[in-house]
Structure 1
Amino acid sequence: MRDTRSVHIPRWVTQAMLVLLVLGLIVLTSACGGNAQVRQQANQDKTQLDQLTQHALAIGVPATLLSPILKQEQHLSSAGAPFSPFNDQPLNDYYSNQANQYAKLVGQTQQLITTTTDQYQLQAQNDMQVFQQALSRRSSQHIGNIQPFSNSYNNYQLMLSSAKYPKDFAVVSRYAQTEINALGLMGSTYSKLTTFQKTINQMKQARIDVTAMQAQYQNDMQEFNSATKSSEFNKLGTLIDAQYQQAVVTSIEALPYVSA
């Protein structure tokens, strides 16, 4: 018959096993975390990088320029810590490398902010210089309504002097380029008006009735002198093209009668 009597384990053995178990857990948990200071430094550097990249986006650094840095950060964040229950060194090396890489990306982001700001500032300054040159050309020609453009130039100069971030300089560039385009269209539209006027004078010399066309020209000049936007010059230019084509047709149709 099988002996079912329980085996008696001395109390001191049980206590010793419990002590060893507790000591083992203490060693295991203390080894799993690595150096707390190194781990904290890595976390701080990551937080600084996150804050700096958000700041860069907020002040107008294009996301496309930040993309390589953000991808590197994502790669770092996705790399898990090694499992080393009895040796802190691999964990310490991991967090130390994390801290160094995050700090490196912080430096790259700061440099990117500085470089982008300088580039946008230079672009805004160049655009304002081109704006000034275009304004001077139109002023010397004594055509169109120049005063609103002069007022805009003065306002944009004030904006440029107080600009601080890439987004500020980008606004100045955008406004200046809009005015440059309008001044360019002012010149081309005036050339169309001049051609239309010459055609009217030639038709008049040929004794062709130009009463209607003369009225069109006068209306066009009024529109031209009040125009200040690219859309207004484009619209007027299209109208003058149509009027000029009609003048040519009228001249051709009148040739037999003029010759007679």
Structure 2
Amino acid sequence: MICDINHLRRMLVMTIFTGAWGRARNGILIVCMVMLVTLLLSACGGDPQTQQQANKSKADLDNLISHAQSIGVADAMLKPIIQQEDQLSNTNAPITVFSGQPATDYYSNLTQRYQFLAVQVRGLELQTTQQLDYQAFQDIQTLENALAERRAQNFIEAKIFANQLTQDQNQLTRAHYPKDYLQISYNAKRSTLALQLMGPAYNNLVSLQQDIKQLQASHLDTTALTQQYQEDLQLFRSANKPEDYSQLINQSTTQLQATSDFSTLAIPYVGAAKLQQFSADIVKLKQYGQNTTSFQQRLTADQTALAQAKSINDYVKVSSQIDHDIASLQFALTAGYANSLLNQYNQEVANWGNTHQYHDPYDGGVYNLDYEYGVNGAGLDGGAALQYAQSTGAQSDYQAAIDIINNNLLHLKAMEADYNDKTAYNQPHATDIQLMKHYNVYGSNAGPVLVVSFIEQSLRYYNNGKLVRAFNVVTGQYLRPSPPGFWSIILRQSPTKFTSSEPAGSAFWYPPTPIQYAMEYHSGGYFFHDAWWRANFGPGTNFPHADSGGTTQFNGNGSHGCINMNTNDIAWLYPQIAWGTPVITY
């Protein structure tokens, strides 16, 4: 019995011990598994700081992209970078056992890739800004040229675009971001397009007016047409954007067609009026020194055909032939007038220059006083324009040549008149006022205008039609004259450095020259600027002379086309003159 009890005790102890050990072993196993999992997770995640840096680099890149988009960088340019960022974002860190180094390397590489993309975004911002800055400058230059052309054609309606030009130029000086330059380009292009459409719109109005006059000459009622013309003219004068001119062109084209249809019913009368005009134009062409034989033969044939016409179809056919003959004559008339005008201009330059000369006491040379208008100056422009028209055979190019020659002739006549005007240089001159009125920059609201007299070697600064101050200057020398014409300030720099475009050793080379104040008034590098190397300014200094400060090859003659000023004078003038300020040189 005792033995059984002891056996039972041993069995109980063993059972208790075995259960306790089992529970202990299970606890140890759980602890080991937790430690193993923690170790594995630690190995998989890599260095937390490296992962945070990767996340920060991505956030920085996102901010840069958002900034680039907000300042106007095109989405198309940013798209490759955004795609690369998306590809990187869709990758995952590698999973490894017992080592976090691969994951750490992954996040380090990810950081570098994001930072590289960030550098690309900054580069795109800089590149886009520079490109659009240059494009905006070019678009403003194009607008300035279009505006100068319309002003030379005496379009008073161009004034509103002069204000837009000044506004664009001011915005360009304050622009910083691509979107700023895009807006400037957009505005400048729209103004340029409007100025370009101004020509066709005006031509339609002229054609409509001529049709009305022909109908009136045929004793037909033109009351309704005249009212339409007056309404169109009012629209033309109030137009200030491309859509206005496009609408007017479409409207006036429709009216011209209606007028043509109306004219068909009155062809017998209109035909006679057209033939009278045809005959008068032939006489004019003969005065230009052109051969008129073929046109005289056409006139005779048209007169006979009109007299023999019996039906409407006959009249329509005859009228069409007369229109064709008149159109052919108009081209010959325009080309003939251009040639005649150039001959007249060249003759005037030669005649006046040969009788008005500067006898230089310094080098003994004799110089025509109107050399700015001769073969080295404006005369070359007119001849080149006519040669170009002859090469293209386009009537519009002949008309452009006529406009250039007429404008040069206007300034030449003004210079001749100024020669006889003994008014002091620091007083208003009649020729200044005449030219300012011609270009519609004279009056109480005209703003600042710079007027340069080549004969006087002087510059007069007007504001709202009143003379503010006058200066003695030095203009371009005999072989490098300053260009006469109507211009505007297109660039302001203070300070800057001028570098010669001529090779070293040539007659017109000069070393790099620091300039304190520079205002470009004509493309090609024609500036108002300080000439600190000169002591003398005023009459005679555009010819070879001795400079009282010590004569050198750079101060003993006129400039290379720029308007040289005393440093103190231009230091005062520079702050008064904004971009777009009109400039008249004659």
What is the CA–CA distance in structure 2 between the aligned matches of 1:152 and 1:181, rounded to whole Å?
A: 13
Question: For 1:227 and 1:11, how far apart are their aligned partners in 2?
Answer: 98
**Aligned residues of 2:57 and 2:114 also touching (Cα < 8 A):** yes
Determine the C-alpha separation between the residues in 2 that align with 1:28 and 1:208: 104
Alpha-carbon contact 1:144-1:226 (below 8 Å) kept: no
Percent identical: 38
User: 2:304 maps to what in 1?
Assistant: none
Whether the 8 Å CA contact 2:218–2:269 is kept in 1: the answer is no
Change (3 A) 1:251 1:35: same
The runs of 5 or more residues in structure 1 that have no matched partner are none
RMSD of aligned residue pairs (Cα, Å):
2.8
Letter in 2 for 1:45: S
Q: Aligned to 2:199, which of 187, 190, 194?
A: 187
Contact persistence 1:144–1:186 (CA under 8 A): no
Q: 1:138 is matched by which residue type in structure 2?
A: R
Report whether the alignment pairs 1:69 with 2:81.
Answer: yes
Give the SS at the match of 1:178.
helix
Q: Is the 8 A contact 2:44 2:94 kept in 1?
A: no
How many angstroms does 1:44 deviate by? Answer: 2.2
CA distance in 2, matches of 1:257, 1:162: 62
In structure 2, which of residues 174, 181, 184 is the aligned counterpart of residue 162 of structure 1?
174
Higher relative strand content: 2
Verify: 1:115 aligned to 2:100, yes or no: no
- Report the AA paired with residue 119 of structure 2: G
Q: 1:139 to 1:30 in 2, by over 3 A?
A: same
Give the Cα–Cα distance (whole angstroms) in 2 for the partners of residues 132 and 41 of structure 1: 52
Unmatched segments (≥5 aa) in structure 2: 1-10, 273-306, 308-586
Encode CA deviations 1:227-249: one digit per residue, 9 max, x unaligned.
22222222222222222223222
Q: Using a 3 Å threshold, how does the CA distance of structure 1 residues 136 and 32 change in structure 2: closer, same or farther?
A: same
In 2, distance between residues paired with 1:50 and 1:187?
A: 49
Counterpart of 1:90 in structure 2 is: 102
Separation in 1, partners of 2:158, 2:227 = 24
Match for residue 177 of structure 1? 189
- Letter aligned with residue 246 of structure 2: N
- 8 Å contact from structure 1 (residues 208, 251) kept in 2: no
2:168–2:188 contact (8 Å) kept in structure 1: yes
Counterpart of 1:140 in structure 2 is 152
Q: What's the TM-score, normalizing by structure 1?
A: 0.87
Task: Output the CA distance in 2 between the equivalents of 1:53 and 1:106.
Answer: 8
Which residue of 53, 56, 73 corresponds with 1:44?
A: 56
What residue is the counterpart of 2:527 in the other structure? Answer: none
Q: Could you tell me how far 1:31 is from its partner in structure 2? A: 2.2
1:144·1:224 contact (CA, 8 Å) conserved in 2?
no
The answer to whether 1:220 aligns with 2:232 is: yes
Matches within 5 A, 1:123-134: 123-134=135-146
Q: Report what 1:30 is aligned to.
A: 42
Counterpart AA for 1:117: T
Which 10-residue stretch deviates more, 237-246 or 56-65? 237-246
Q: 2:245 aligns with which of 233, 257, 260?
A: 233
The equivalent residue for 1:149 is 161
Distance of 2:28 and 2:223 partners within structure 1: 120
Structure 1 runs of 4+ off > 6 angstroms?
A: 10-16
Q: What do the CA deviations read for 1:151-180 (whole angstroms, capped 9, x no partner)?
A: 111111111111111111111111111111
Tell me, yes or no, if structure 1 residue 197 matches structure 2 residue 209: yes
1:60 is matched with 72
Check conservation: 1:149, 1:179, Cα contact below 8 A: yes
CA distance in 2, matches of 1:30, 1:212: 93
| CA pair 200-17 structure 1, distance change in 2 beyond 3 A | closer
Please identify, of 18-27 and 193-202, the stretch whose mean Cα deviation from structure 2 is larger.
18-27
Judging changes above 3 Å, is the alpha-carbon distance between structure 1 residues 207 and 82 closer, same or farther for their aligned structure 2 residues? same
The verdict on how the C-alpha distance between 1:190 and 1:144 changes in structure 2, with shifts beyond 3 A counting, is farther
Deviation at 1:218, TM superposition (A): 3.4
The verdict on how the C-alpha distance between 1:84 and 1:205 changes in structure 2, with shifts beyond 3 A counting, is same
SS of the residue aligned with 1:99?
helix
Q: Which amino acid aligns with 1:196?
A: L
Deviation (angstroms), 1:10: 8.7
Paired residue type of 2:67: H
Rounded to whole Å, the distance in 2 between the matches of 1:237 and 1:216 is 13
Counterparts of 2:206 and 2:222 in 1: how far apart (Å)? 16
Partners in 2 of 1:69 and 1:192 — Cα distance? 52
Q: 2:113 aligns with which of 101, 108, 112?
A: 101
Of 209-218 and 59-68, more deviation after overlay is shown by 209-218
